[in-house]
Structure 1
């Protein structure tokens, strides 16, 4: 996962006063962190190996539903180049999103997963079977989904069939102000999901490098006392 400091942390947590008060009220009603961690636990993000869909020998995702073998890879490549150029320019982020490699994600805590967009219903089956996901928080706007040609409705239907709660809290990509304003609702959704205790929570945006990590960090910051202040350099 990419570092979200590139999109304005810690200033991204400066939410409107009424939202801060609402969050503070929720936190006062909490007897302990939802992850049930020991007191004085020093949170650290523990990356797990990136999970991807099955690849062919050429390194391209095998997709039996693809109708065009000549034009679609070219279009996807153009989209990826445009998206990564925009991401590097707007977020000053050196990481890249490779849509053709399929969904990727990282286990942040025992109950929280951050990743990229599910691309097909089979991705939902994987999250349910392999990771025990019971709740998905989608931070994409409609135009994000349309840009990549993802059939979101089929994904939502599969979530319903597998009894996975699917919630959307759209935020504009590459826009710190939109993200900052949307964080209280996104974090509130995460808090509700964890309180249900039915399984892991998967939070995603498009690439899993900006909005989704931001929502995860905001939750850990507001509800689990995670310290987001940079550590002083031992060389200074």
Structure 2
């Protein structure tokens, strides 16, 4: 995501100050980065809005036959594994190099940087801040030297490279954490209604942001981050290991369950913020759902996940009414609510 500072949409929009995102779930694997930039003249911007960057790392067409096949195979394996984990089709072609789209003149969403030379590509179009949400295991899988990229950006002196662990704002968009964070940025700071932010994003870049995750994160911040203890169980069928992925840790991580031999169940107890969480079990390495717990209907690709809905018991409270409003069909925020979110985020380490 690239942001050009203080180009606001309305008088209610807020400038970006000390910008960081509340971590609703630790990060899941994602090919996307976020970049923030300073504005150039408007005629340049109009020409760039629909432009994608030329791949800056060697594309498969520029590699030797063996290297190109190896890169394509790694992308296929990665896409397959993430599709299996998240319950929706994810296609990521790392071998095609960095690419991005201007969502607004001050906001760019694109793939992660792959080489230090990619830093110069973004500097040339006025990018001032790169906000990278990639996890270390995914960068290592594709052989991306993130330390070299960050060191080079620091040496340039006119661009900063930030990284953050961020809760999974995207459900199956895995992907698309960056698109969802871009939507949250427009919703929280730039005066957009959530539906308008979504429509603008999808008009510029093909992605699958999950509005419900952004709504829940917004409600979490404005209602005080209340948690509730949740217990998940898998009936022991003589398996050796049982893990859960998704939930509040993202699809790239796993939590082991503990076997209670007396009860005959593998058990996970975890405090979760209010909201809806999807997850899957991994039993002896095989991804599956628990048919004795809530599960989603099959999506268009016939994938199904378990889910848990975490609710506070006081359904008549002011916080409950606010959460219901914020998680409704098309929420909007008042200036006071945006200020509260801004203060909350600025107070985070």
**Same fold at TM > 0.5:** yes
Q: Does 2:181 align with 1:215?
A: yes
Partner of 1:52: 54
SS at match of 2:76: helix
- Compared CA separation, residues 226 and 219, structure 1 to 2 (3 A): same
Going from structure 1 to structure 2, the CA distance change for 1:128 and 1:61 (only over 3 Å counts) comes to: farther
Q: Which runs of 5+ in 2 are unaligned?
A: 14-47, 200-328, 330-349
Residue 74 (structure 2) aligned to one of 79, 86, 109: 79
CA distance in 1, matches of 2:121, 2:184: 27
1:37 lines up with 2:9 in the alignment:
yes
- For residues 105-128 of structure 1, the C-alpha deviation after alignment (integer angstroms, 9 at most, x for no partner) is 000111111100111111111110
Q: Match for residue 155 of structure 1?
A: 149
Q: Kindly indicate whether residue 101 of structure 2 is the aligned counterpart of residue 106 of structure 1.
A: yes
What is the correspondence of 1:59-70 to structure 2 with a 5 Å cutoff? 60=60, 62=62, 69=64
- Once residues 217 and 37 of structure 1 are traced to their aligned partners in structure 2, the CA distance between those partners, rounded to angstroms, is 14
Point out the structure with max Rg over C-alpha. Answer: 2
The CA RMSD over aligned residues, in Å, is 3.5
* Contact 1:50–1:105 (8 Å) recurs in 2: yes
The residue that corresponds to 1:226 in the other structure is: 192
Contact 2:90 2:174 in 1 (8 A): no
Instruction: Report the CA distance shift for 1:87/1:47 in structure 2 as closer, same or farther (over 3 A).
Output: farther
Q: Going by fraction, where is helix more abundant, 1 or 2?
A: 1
Q: How does 1:159-198 map to 2 (within 5 A)?
A: 159-163=153-157, 164-171=159-166, 178-180=167-169
Secondary structure of the 1:179 match is coil
Using the alignment, how far apart are the partners of 1:127 and 1:90 within structure 2? 32
| Residues 102, 109 of structure 2: 8 Å contact kept | yes
Aligned CA distance change for structure 1 residues 54 and 122 (closer, same or farther; 3 Å): closer
- The Cα of 1:219 is off from its aligned counterpart by 0.7
TM-score, normalised via structure 1 length:
0.56
**Aligned partner (choices 99, 113, 117) of residue 122 of structure 1:** 117
Q: Are 1:136 and 2:108 matched, yes or no?
A: no
Whole-angstrom distance in 1 between the partners of 2:181 and 2:91: 20
The secondary structure found in structure 2 opposite 1:108 is strand
Which structure shows the higher strand fraction?
Answer: 2
> Displacement of 1:154 after TM fit?
1.3
Unaligned runs of 5+ in 1: 2-32, 64-68, 172-177, 184-206
